[in-house]
Amino acid sequence: MKINKILFLVLIAIQAISCSAQSPDKILDKTLSKIYQESNFPGFAVTVIKTDSTLFANSYGYADKIKKAPYTLETIQPIASVSKTFVALALMKSMELGYFTLETNINELLPFKVINPNFPNDIIKVRHLATHTSSLIDNQKICLNETYQLGNKPTIELGKFLKDYYSKEGNFYNSQNFDNKNIGTNYSYSNIATALMAYIIEYKSKMPFDEFTNKYIFLPLKMNSTEWFYNKKYDDKYATLYEVNEIENPLQEKVLNNDKSLKAYCSITYPDGSLKTSANDLTKFLKTMMRGYFNIDTAIVGKQSYETLFAKQFNEKNMPTNMDKKEPNRGIFWSYSKKGSIRHTGDDLGVFSFISFNPITKVGVVMTLNARLDGGENHKTVGYFMKVIAALDSFEQAIK
């Protein structure tokens, strides 16, 4: 009996030593596995990098719950508004190609006029589009009812829709498409204005925006699983998208299947949020952005372009109204968090994504999830995402 007690204490001691000796990546893996098991997440992937090196990369759950297909680092899904960081890089490339500058009047670049009727003499510049201060805002009724379509590829061209939305003679022209505050003075996050920026690149380059980004970004970075539109050759890699929160609008009902999976859908304003990629490909992109920021390497664009891309656009003298307190400054489409990280999130029908890096610790994070955080009664979903963030913060502290 005494021997068994001693043996028991020895085993407990060995277990304690083993636990304390676990590496930070193993601890993170166990934490994320536990979060997944308790959460309502279908599947997700997380990578953590430090400039060149990958510190952590793993995935959890299912890309398709019915088929029991695992969610992997190669699973492809839309990344919603993280797509805008690719518009940002394309914008920088366009400037290097001589198409325009940040100070160029957008009406010098378009085949139709875009004028805020409330301030017809104000000039909308490229910089305004890139910082969401253009006074061109999203009319939510039109966004929900007109920009989304069932199917794999939009049936209306980007340029046609934008002309219909911003031109007086257009089918979707409405006073609610425009802010009632002067250009450059108010922050209003706009998907359609981002799509307009992409269309300017398309019009000036004489190349569809998806082809422009493929030529100048995806191919050079060997992002071989990244495209704006559905591609049959990736059929076995696409994630099934799910709705895990309460339905809030008719659009969600339109795309929802009985098992809470979503029908195939697309968006006419695809550059604002329809890029389809994998966690591995998105990590390649983040590594490139970080190397550019830290001036280690200047792939895609040069040193000056990276400095412009990430330069804080606002200060006390030109701070627009309505800025998010959690993101008090902007780069070119990128945001600065209150804690100083440079990031972008994405949330759309059936998808969530997150991309971020810390300029001080030089640690970057990618997350992709085949369900959205936003929606009705989403406290559980958001709560488990915050646990993921807490686990990542602990990991970052542990590797310092």
According to CATH, the topology of domain 25-398 is Beta-lactamase (3.40.710)
Distance CA 367, CA 381 (A): 15
Which amino acid would we find at residue 223? M
The reported pLDDT for the residue numbered 4 is 57
From residue 300, give the alpha-carbon distance in Å to each of 95, 188, 310, 347, 354: 12, 29, 15, 27, 22
Measure the CA dihedral 246/250/252/257, to 10°.
Answer: 100
Distance CA 41, CA 255 (A): 19
Average pLDDT of the segment spanning 252-266 = 97
The whole-model pTM stands at: 0.94
Per residue in 40-83, pLDDT tens?
Answer: 999 999 999 998 799 999 999 999 999 999 999 999 999 999 99
Per residue in 282-320, pLDDT tens?
Answer: 999 999 999 999 999 899 999 999 999 999 999 999 999
pLDDT band at 6 (very low <50, low <70, confident <90, very high): low
CB atoms within 10 A of CB 294: 13
H/E stretch holding 48 reads strand 43-50
From residue 288, give the alpha-carbon distance in Å to each of 13, 46, 131, 277: 45, 17, 22, 16
pLDDT band at 5 (very low <50, low <70, confident <90, very high): low
Per residue in 103-148, pLDDT tens?
Answer: 999 999 999 999 999 999 999 999 999 999 999 999 999 999 999 9
The reported pLDDT for the residue numbered 400 is 77
347: left (phi over 0), alpha (psi -120 to 50) or beta: beta
H/E stretch holding 366 reads strand 363-369
What average pLDDT does the structure give for the chain? 94
Range in 13-17, 248-252, 393-397 the model is least confident about: 13-17
Average pLDDT of the segment spanning 80-92 = 98
The reported pLDDT for the residue numbered 9 is 47
Per residue in 169-195, pLDDT tens?
Answer: 999 999 999 999 999 999 999 999 999
With 70 as the cut, is the pLDDT of residue 7 above it? Answer: no
Percent of the chain with pLDDT over 70: 95
Distance CA 350, CA 41 (A): 11
With 80 as the cut, is the pLDDT of residue 15 above it? Answer: no
The reported pLDDT for the residue numbered 13 is 46
Helices (H) and strands (E) in the chain, counts: 12, 12
Distance CA 73, CA 78 (A): 14
The neighbouring-strand residues paired with 227 are 276
With 50 as the cut, is the pLDDT of residue 16 above it? Answer: no
The reported pLDDT for the residue numbered 22 is 87
pLDDT band at 216 (very low <50, low <70, confident <90, very high): very high
Ordered by start, the domain boundaries in the chain are 25-398
